[in-house]
Amino acid sequence: MSQDSSHFDPELAITQVRREFGEHGGVAPSIERSSTFTVMEPGIMPDIFDGKRSPDREGCYLYSRHFNPTIDVLDRYLAAMEGTEFAVGTASGMAAISCALLQLCDAGSHIVSSSTIYGGTHALLAQLLPRHGIQTSFVHPRDIGAFEAAIQPNTKVIYAETMGNPTLAIPNIEALANLAHKHGIQLVVDNTFAPMVMSPARHGADIVVYSMTKYVNGASDLLAGCICCSREFGHSLYDLQTGCAMLLGPTMDPRVAFDIMQRLPHLAIRMREHGRRALAIAERLQDLGLRVLYPGLSTHPDYDLAQTLVNPGYGYGGMLALDCETQERANELMGVLQNEVGFGLIAVSLGYFDTLMSVSSCSTSSEIPDEEQTKMGLNPGLLRLSVGISGSLESRLAQIEKGVKKVFSS
């Protein structure tokens, strides 16, 4: 994988591989819904099972848990977007994360993870994987020394999120990649918060995972994920004897692949607009004297690092966190914004066209024990906003200012 990140444009990369027509020449690709496929000559089938033939090597499709033509098209687009050789679409973000990690780890393996990650991933690492003999040490995403100190002879993976959920702490991906490779370890990075904004594989990450339920799809109407990786790792995921994508059944539905394919062409436009509005709202809230975490603000602790990681022209993403100091005040603000001024929806998840708001400590980070939440800088009053792209920006700024003034002055 190239590490020249200077001129990478993920949108351009997708347009260069987008060549698919529908079955009858349609401008939209066809959806292949068959679970199984006809083999024209009986001798071909054993060759496919022996790995001698595949759809791209004088073979054909066999069974859709293995390969499916519609999902394959999406996978090619995703690999192009991420600058990796290969991509594997999955049924959810958690399917992508768990399959990637289980493919890399055996019973007795160890993972060093950023502590600032999605609560479900934290639970996977801290609760579920130890039941299968895989242990994880958690360290602060900014402390590269702590990552190194936590490495053990059995460490197989360094794990981090490009923008940590929900405090938006940004780890130094290049430093983590160098550290991982010095120790013969794989760096796995979740880029769910920053598609197109950041391209971690271009900075040395070996495997990039996504929940495409969020920005990549952008409509909050389906669940999906993907693993972007080398061809070798992708093939290992499909190994008939040991492949997690093959044997754990995390398969994406071809209809979901089609829906995402139709929304990828406007992902770049959406991400730029999410970023433009999130920055404007972050600045307004900061001007009102509030403590805001947003990587595009010069007050953000990782602002300088972010400059070295973002792809030019895509902004800093649509996620911001507002410190309301107490959970009560954060709840009050969400209520006022949704029910009185008409700004946003009280809902978990992110990447929708409307703003989504949740108090992380008691929702999507609630799996993380209180003392660890404190260590990662997640206080109970932190309100996470996934800033939407609907309505005029001016009207949205007026709405949030009205709500904030009401709640913070009371």
Instruction: Give contact residues for ligand PLP (rule: CB under 6 A).
Output: 92-94, 118, 120-121, 161, 165, 190, 192, 211, 213, 223, 225, 349, 364
Residue 236 beta carbon to ligand PLP: minimum distance, rounded to whole angstroms: 22
Which C-beta is closer to ligand PLP: that of 77 or that of 118? 118
Residue 140 beta carbon to ligand PLP: minimum distance, rounded to whole angstroms: 17
Q: Which residue is nearest to ligand PLP (CB)?
A: 93
Residue 163 beta carbon to ligand PLP: minimum distance, rounded to whole angstroms: 8
Which C-beta is closer to ligand PLP: that of 174 or that of 190? 190
Which C-beta is closer to ligand PLP: that of 12 or that of 362? 362
Centre a 10 Å sphere on the Cβ of residue 297 and count the other Cβ atoms it contains: 18
C-beta of residue 229 within 8 angstroms of C-beta of residue 87: yes
Residue 231 beta carbon to ligand PLP: minimum distance, rounded to whole angstroms: 24
Residue 380 beta carbon to ligand PLP: minimum distance, rounded to whole angstroms: 19
Which C-beta is closer to ligand PLP: that of 86 or that of 118? 118
Residue 6 beta carbon to ligand PLP: minimum distance, rounded to whole angstroms: 27
Which C-beta is closer to ligand PLP: that of 102 or that of 336? 102
Which C-beta is closer to ligand PLP: that of 210 or that of 233? 210
Centre a 10 Å sphere on the Cβ of residue 312 and count the other Cβ atoms it contains: 10
Buried b (16+ CB within 10 A) or exposed e, 160-187: bbbbbbbbbbbbbbbebbebbeebebbb
Residue 97 beta carbon to ligand PLP: minimum distance, rounded to whole angstroms: 6
> Dihedrals φ, ψ of 322, to 5°?
-115, 125
Which tokens is 51 given?
């790995």
Which C-beta is closer to ligand PLP: that of 118 or that of 233? 118
Residue 47 beta carbon to ligand PLP: minimum distance, rounded to whole angstroms: 35
**Nearest to residue 198, comparing CAs of 311, 116, 81, 87?**
311
Residue 102 beta carbon to ligand PLP: minimum distance, rounded to whole angstroms: 15
C-beta of residue 293 within 8 angstroms of C-beta of residue 409: no
Residue 376 beta carbon to ligand PLP: minimum distance, rounded to whole angstroms: 14
Half-sphere exposure of 318 (CA within 13 A, CB side): 30
Tokens 């709405």 identify what position? 399
Which C-beta is closer to ligand PLP: that of 229 or that of 404? 229
Which C-beta is closer to ligand PLP: that of 252 or that of 279? 252
Which C-beta is closer to ligand PLP: that of 236 or that of 349? 349
Residue 299 beta carbon to ligand PLP: minimum distance, rounded to whole angstroms: 23
Which C-beta is closer to ligand PLP: that of 118 or that of 343? 118
Pairing mode of beta strands 135-139, 86-90 = unpaired
Report the C-alpha gap between 400 and 286 in whole angstroms.
12
Report the C-alpha gap between 194 and 165 in whole angstroms.
11
**Nearest to residue 142, comparing CAs of 120, 121, 161?**
161
